[in-house]
Amino acid sequence: MSVEYKGSAAGCKEDDASPSPTLRPNTSQDLSSAPRRRSNKCISNRSGSQGDPLKDNPVRRKRSKQVEIDPDTGLKVGEPLYNDDNEMSGRVVSPTLKQLVHNLFKSGGFENLQGYQLEGHKCITSVDKRLEREAGGSLLYGEVLPEGVARLLDDDHLSVRTAKVLYDFGMGTGKLCLQVFLEYPHLDQVVGIEISPSRYKIGAQALRRLAQRRGFALLADNEHRCKVLQLLGNRRRILEFRCGDAFATLAERSEHDPHVSFVGAADIILLNTDFPESCHASICELLFRMALGARTASYGDLRKMYLAVQQRQLRAGDSKAANRAFPMVHYPINDDSDRFRTTWSPKLGHHFFLFHRGPFLKKAKV
Ligand SMILES: C[S@@+](CC[C@H](N)C(=O)[O-])C[C@H]1O[C@@H](n2cnc3c(N)ncnc32)[C@H](O)[C@@H]1O
């Protein structure tokens, strides 16, 4: 399967106060809501009347429409970002979407797409390092590139098309969550959780800009949580960033349905992080709590991780561990050659492991 890679959003300006009103999309799109930015409006007259006697006709001129352009995207105000099925299943991410996410992050958007000098690397402080030690997390950093995200979520892989709720455990600065929220307006809830306060702060700042520029309501904005609400027709869409240990959510109930756990409410949970061994037992517990049919992508092989945890539990005298078979089903398409573009492997791509939650039937072979 080939992936068309278009690289960074060429021509992006670093400062979003200097928008590029002439940027045109190369696809028709459907961004859920009309941009509502009131300041910095760019008004362009698209009648293009220069030197054209017909167009210079005063009656004709009177009729020509003034078009308000959204400076973040270069689209007409109200013009949707995505609206066709190709975009939903496609692996080509629109330059317009990249431009939008770039502008929300100012520097540290999609302009610097490779290597180990991303904002998420550079922002780390001693506080982050202390929290990493205390929570047993890992600050190792890298991002799945926009085309890698689109491929992960396409119909052959995690099938975002049939999802409503997506979580990113270890969201970094939250670019993936923002891309997904804007690209797939049928999703009702996208939640990113990040252990590093410095990375969370960059993401929260981008969320604030999103709320301000697109007229979304800011439901929470503090050092632990930043949450925006988009009203789309009669639907409520939530994009939320949290600062903390992602595995602390294992004990949580869903805000929207108290009968379901937070984890059980998800259709897709991304675990694109090299979680240290101290997190592995929690990851195994998470797999059991996922809803049947829910999907996950992981940095490491969850099957191997599960067996290692199970062995440790058996050695520690937990005889029940032997009865609990690995509850996930590996995607047949996801062999070694199934790769996804990342900042640390932009050409070859990184092999993430893809599973969906299957029924818990068999007795474990230990
Ligand atoms: C490889 S980055 C992934 C960024 C983003 N999800 C992506 O795929 O582009 C992994 C992130 O997970 C965070 N992390 C590690 N352990 C965590 C934990 N227990 N809870 C929340 N975040 C964690 C790290 O700080 C890092 O920012």
| Amino acid 171: pLDDT | 98
| Rounded CA separation 78/288 (Å) | 43
From 171, 177, 243, 299, mutation site for ligand 1 pocket: most ligand atoms within 8 A of C-beta = 171
- Tell me the CA–centroid distance for residue 338 and ligand 1, in Å: 22
pLDDT the model gives residue 92: 66
Per DSSP, the three-state class of 234 is: coil
pLDDT, tens only, 254-289: 988 889 999 999 999 999 999 999 999 999 999 999
What's the pLDDT score for residue 43? 33
Q: In angstroms, rounded to a whole number, what is the distance separating the alpha carbons of residues 148 and 92?
A: 9
Helix residue ranges per DSSP H, 184-319? 197-214, 280-289, 302-315
How many Cα neighbours within 13 Å face the side chain of 160?
Answer: 30
Question: Which of 130, 98, 121, 111 shows the shortest CA–CA distance to 173?
Answer: 121
Pairing of strands 165-169, 189-194: parallel
Residue nearest to atom 9 of ligand 1 (CA): 143
Long-range pairs for 111-116: beta carbons < 8 A, 24 or more residues apart: 111/8, 111/9, 111/12, 111/14, 112/8, 113/7, 113/8, 113/145, 113/343, 113/346, 114/343, 114/344, 114/346, 115/343, 115/344, 116/141, 116/142, 116/344
Do 214 and 38 form a contact (C-beta atoms < 8 A)? no
Q: 């928008």: which residue's tokens? A: 19
What pLDDT score does 119 carry?
86
Whole-model pTM? 0.77
Confidence (pLDDT) at 269: 98
- Sorted by where each starts, the structural domains of the chain and their CATH numbers stand as 85-357 (3.40.50.150)
pLDDT at 350: 95
Which amino acid is located at 69 in the chain? I
Residues of the chain where predicted confidence (pLDDT) is lower than 50: 1-62, 82-90, 108-109, 361-366
Ligand 1, atom 16, lies closest to the CA of 137
Cβ distance 301 to 328 under 8 Å? no
Amino acid 256: pLDDT: 84
212's tokens: 């301000």
Q: Which residues contact 312 (CB under 8 A, 6 or more apart)?
A: 281
Distance from residue 34's CA to the centre of ligand 1 (Å):
31
Report d(CA 86, CA 279) in Å as an integer: 38
Nearest CA among 183, 179, 188 for reference residue 206: 179
The residue whose C-alpha atom lies closest to atom 12 belonging to ligand 1 is 170
CB contact at 8 A, 356 and 291: no
Nearest CA to ligand 1 atom 18: 245
Which residue has a Cα nearest atom 4 of ligand 1? 172
Give every CB contact of residue 258 below 8 A, 6+ residues apart in sequence.
none
Residue type, 119: E
Pocket of ligand 1 (CB under 6 A): 135, 137-139, 141-144, 168-172, 176, 193-196, 199, 245-247, 272-273, 275, 279
